[in-house]
Structure 1
């Protein structure tokens, strides 16, 4: 799937802003390919929304719209002078009101990097890790049980 142009991306964000928040989006939105662990971020000092292009390409449309709505919650609360950070009650209330996700789902391309799996012998919790874990040194974080390598 081809990425949107800056103008098309702005139009999409503005449409979502008017539909869910009843206010126009007047600042800047861009794709930032350097984002790795998040779907997007809002920079209050620049009034800029940055979106991860991998989510536009790999995730479904609802997930990408959810990321935009989440960042617009930060944006509109900041513009209105209200609490726009994740822990603020105004932010949590606006997330619920607009049906925005608190976190984005991990991409399948990032999940492939987790090569090592460990299982607790007590509670059967499975840990997926990119790096190997020293089984003599580490235990289950849930029940303190012993870990065994699954794959």
Structure 2
């Protein structure tokens, strides 16, 4: 599927599901990585991640298009178009659009593996467990102001 076929599909879904025309551009953006699609507020164009179409097929693509068209039509009407808005959630349910796109299997496995960094104070032996690393030259113990040293990394499934 190319950009021209995507444009026609978006126009068709807009008329069928929303009863309103789509008057802007829809195209595949190869730079999108973590999202299925994106509605651009400034230009009113819609960008779609082609990897979702290649991996999950046309049904997932249609769901992503419906989701982005919800943003599109609500924004042009001056209504709440953001994910947190009630009007947006209501329109998603009405047209059968998903709130989030399906995650890729490899990205799911990356998210499950977490690392805990363990730091210890030299003076009072207080232990700090952190998700993000600490600059031990800059930060000190909150209890005694002693020097912190990295003890170990713990992998959590």
Partner of 2:145: none
In structure 1, what is the Cα distance between the partners aligned to 2:116 and 2:25?
A: 43
Larger radius of gyration: 2
In structure 2, what is the Cα distance between the partners aligned to 1:69 and 1:31?
A: 15
Partner of 1:11: 8
Secondary structure of residue in 2 paired with 1:34: coil
In structure 2, what is the Cα distance between the partners aligned to 1:21 and 1:150?
A: 45
Q: Is 1:137 the counterpart of 2:137 in the alignment? A: no
In structure 1, what is the Cα distance between the partners aligned to 2:9 and 2:107?
A: 26
Q: Is 1:50 the counterpart of 2:47 in the alignment? A: yes
Compared with structure 1, are the counterparts of its residues 150 and 90 closer, same or farther at alpha carbon in structure 2 (3 Å cutoff)?
Answer: closer
String of CA shifts for 1:119-138, please: whole Å, max 9, x gaps: xxxxxxxx712x63336725
Superposed CA RMSD: 2.2
- Give the alignment of 1:53-132 within 5 angstroms: 53-111=50-108, 114=110, 128-129=112-113, 132=115
Secondary structure of residue in 1 paired with 2:26: strand
CA contact (8 A) 1:67 1:101 kept: yes
In structure 2, what is the Cα distance between the partners aligned to 1:74 and 1:95?
A: 9
CA contact (8 A) 1:59 1:107 kept: no
TM-score where L is the length of structure 2: 0.71
Runs (5+) with no aligned partner, structure 2: 119-127, 132-153
Secondary structure of residue in 2 paired with 1:94: helix
